[in-house]
Structure 1
Amino acid sequence: MTECISPVLPPATPPATTPRRSWASVAVIAAGTFLVVTAEMLPIGVLTPMSSDLATSSAAIGLAVTVTGLVAAVVAPVVPHLLGALDRRMVLAAALVMLGVGDVMTGVADSLPVLLVSRLLVGLGMATVWGMASALAARLVPGRRGPLAVSIVIGGVAAASVLGVPLGTLVGSVFGWRAAFIGLGVATVGVGAVALRVMPEMRRPPEVESPTGGVRLRLLRPSVMVGAITVALVVTAHFAAYTYVRPLLEDRSGFSAVGVTVALLVYGVGGLIGNFVAGAVASKSPRSCMATLGVGIAVAVVVLATLGTAPAAAMVGLVLWGVAYGGVSVTGQLWMTTAAPDRVEQVTGLYAGVFNASIALGAFLGGRVVGVGHAPLLWLAAGIAVAAAGVALTPTR
């Protein structure tokens, strides 16, 4: 018998604030997720000039993504346990400042070791923001409009693909990749300051009792475990290929630097659409939605593997890829929070840890395979994505 997952976000006592301020706070958190994902993914868009400037290989620069993901994977799950009664507003602002400092350090790095140290800071800031963003949105806007608030916060992820990474890639092409990271760092510190002014004080969330006598349900229940494994496979598949999308488009599809920027923008538009469509669908059936997204990613990379030497076909594949992957974050988040409504912050931290560990794993696997060729890399990603779809539909008791 398949375990039922409620489509409604768990109840939560909102902080003392007005609806207008609550939605403004959701917008600030969304800006934070936008900056987090832009910082994490920007090395992908400027991988070629970074590799040339630092006199190292593309696979080595890919470690900048791997290191960030590994740090976030380790830190994010423990963030809810470390916060205690701390004001979440202050923590979010501090995390954004740390992220901004890491971005600036990346921009001034003169060697691969210095670059990797700067990415450690980025990973710490990213883990903290990831570990609390969706839980904060659910607290700020509880009830039926909660899924919309979560979709908006996770929409920062898709918006980073639409605007952040392509804009950073464009700035890197015109002014140099260092200017892109430094500008990103300054903007991130600014959003941290806005968070302090706009958001209400938010201490430890209230405990949610189970309907069977107030005993806490275990966090690692079957639906959570299946969701975590599915997310791990989907994200690993995606980043195995996407980390090296720039050299793939340049070498296999013949795109220029400007063409890559346009292609990433098109991919991002698809991601933004996928985020909000999946947000509506996943609130009713997260398992089937995630399975569909996994198949969509597999089909997209197969298009690139078989027809990607033609620029038009490559662009079609990128659009489909963007739509499919754009829905993964919100679908995974809704799956996990509705599967453990009594442990929203904890399951959000677990989700963020799994997600970022999978980013690191995907970037690492891609780095090992990309030297063999782009086609084998794409077929590997397709196979993992299909496996994810199968796991998503696995029945649990």
Structure 2
Amino acid sequence: MTTICVDQPATGLRAWAASVTMAATVFTVVTAEMLPVGVLTPMSESLHTTEGVAGLALTATGVTSAIAAPVLPLLLGRLDRRAVLGGLMVLLAVSSFAAAVTPFYSIFMLARVLMGVTIGGVWLLTVSLARRVVPENAAGPATSLIFSGIGIASVLGIPAGAYVGELAGWRWAFAGVGLLSLGLTVALSIFLPNLAPERPVRLCDVREVLQVKQVRVGVILVALIVTGHFAAYTYVRPLVEPHTGPALIGTLLLAYGVAGVVGNFLTGALRPFRALTVIAAGIALTALAMPVLGTTLAGSLVLLVIWGFAYGGTSVSTQAWAHAAAPSAPESSSAVLVGVYNGSIALGAFTGGQVADQLGTTTVTWLPAVLATAALVVLLANRVQRG
């Protein structure tokens, strides 16, 4: 198939402005996706449903983005990726405003489905386009900067949503995401260069990359770690609120997010095998300790910091695993991993919700304990992947 010529990347300040804008875009979609975590209790009360059912807001975005990530590249064809990113941010703005104003749970969930399309598309495009917005010698730092949007969303976005929800109501948190999305639509059109596709992705490309054993191992690891994490993290507010009070939820989530950024840089500097071993072990140990040590404010704070540090490097480490497993097919392997990642968010939120509603919120921590331990077993059985 003929390779499509693309414009040269920008240089100097414009190139880094493009990288910062893409990092802010990632920050916004991750904040939108995780926003229910910080406002779950008041959101469920306002929508007249249980916390477990309200937690399906993450399932809706996760399922949709899991489908959108591998399917969108097949549908976009030769469309300029800059225009696609702008369109996705407009869609995020519309869906955020709809979630902010609707009194109906069904319409709220429809808005979350539309958010899922944006999340899947933005995750995939920013991963594959990072190296194209800056000169080749700056591709590594630019990629790290763009990925930092994920960690910063945990540090600022989710706690900010919790604070706004506490001060003005959870709906204003969603409205704020909508306003930020509109601003980024303009910024993307200004700072990004033309980004025509280098080569349209074909369905056979995705099939071929799945034939690589270590890609399949990466899929299993993502499914176990991310499903386990979100089975409990989705319900972290009702999990710790009885021991801390609602006023401190934002502060605890901020501590979790700061630890996540530190973990992102420290575990991200390790080889994928070692990084994922640290991540899986940290999540398993924290989950086991939570019912025993997380019954006080101090205990909850310490465990959330350890939890955040452990999970913080997951996105970078799983993408590094995918690149090491299939270096000649970065977009296809990223599409697969991003799809599984977001599908695992959905599965984790759904499973945790069922356990929370049937057995009580305090029981959800056994899910990450079991699944993260299973991930450790998979890692030990596949030591060959040390790249």
TM over 0.5: yes
Deviations 1:191-237 (A, max 9, x none): 111001000011112699xxxxxx99931111111111101111001
Q: Is the 8 A contact 2:291 2:362 kept in 1?
A: yes
User: Cα distance, 1:185 vs. partner?
Assistant: 0.5
Number of residues paired by the alignment? 375
SS at match of 2:256: helix
CA distance in 1, matches of 2:360, 2:78: 51
**Structure 1's 151 and 392: CA in aligned 2 closer, same or farther, altered over 3 A?**
farther
User: What is aligned with 1:94?
Assistant: 87
Deviations 1:42-64 (A, max 9, x none): 11111111111111110111111
Q: Is the 8 A contact 2:281 2:373 kept in 1?
A: yes
CA distance in 2, matches of 1:375, 1:53: 23
Partner letter of residue 109 of structure 1? T
Structure 1 position 367 matched with structure 2 position 353:
yes
User: What is aligned with 2:22?
Assistant: 29
CA distance in 1, matches of 2:13, 2:321: 27
Runs (4+) of structure 1 exceeding 6 A deviation are none
Q: Is the 8 A contact 1:13 1:142 kept in 2?
A: no
User: What is aligned with 2:237?
Assistant: 246
Q: Is the 8 A contact 2:9 2:15 kept in 1?
A: no
User: Cα distance, 1:308 vs. partner?
Assistant: 0.8
SS at match of 1:323: helix
Deviations 1:263-320 (A, max 9, x none): 0000000011111112222xxx212211211111111222212211122111110001
Q: Which moved more, 1:19-28 or 1:353-362?
A: 19-28
**Structure 1's 334 and 14: CA in aligned 2 closer, same or farther, altered over 3 A?**
farther
Structure 1 unaligned runs (5+)? Answer: 1-11, 209-214
Deviations 1:101-120 (A, max 9, x none): 11111101211101111111
Structure 1 position 324 matched with structure 2 position 314:
no
User: What is aligned with 2:176?
Assistant: 183
CA distance in 1, matches of 2:14, 2:44: 44
Structure 1 position 130 matched with structure 2 position 101:
no
User: What is aligned with 1:377?
Assistant: 364
User: What is aligned with 2:100?
Assistant: 107
**Structure 1's 207 and 123: CA in aligned 2 closer, same or farther, altered over 3 A?**
closer
**Structure 1's 82 and 217: CA in aligned 2 closer, same or farther, altered over 3 A?**
closer
**Structure 1's 216 and 96: CA in aligned 2 closer, same or farther, altered over 3 A?**
closer
Residue 284 (structure 2) aligned to one of 264, 282, 298: 298
Q: CA RMSD in A?
A: 2.2
User: What is aligned with 2:254?
Assistant: 265
User: Cα distance, 1:135 vs. partner?
Assistant: 1.1
Identity of aligned residues (%): 43
Q: Is the 8 A contact 2:256 2:308 kept in 1?
A: yes
User: What is aligned with 1:315?
Assistant: 301
CA distance in 2, matches of 1:273, 1:370: 30
SS at match of 1:218: helix
CA distance in 2, matches of 1:233, 1:36: 23
The structure that is helix-richer by fraction is: 2
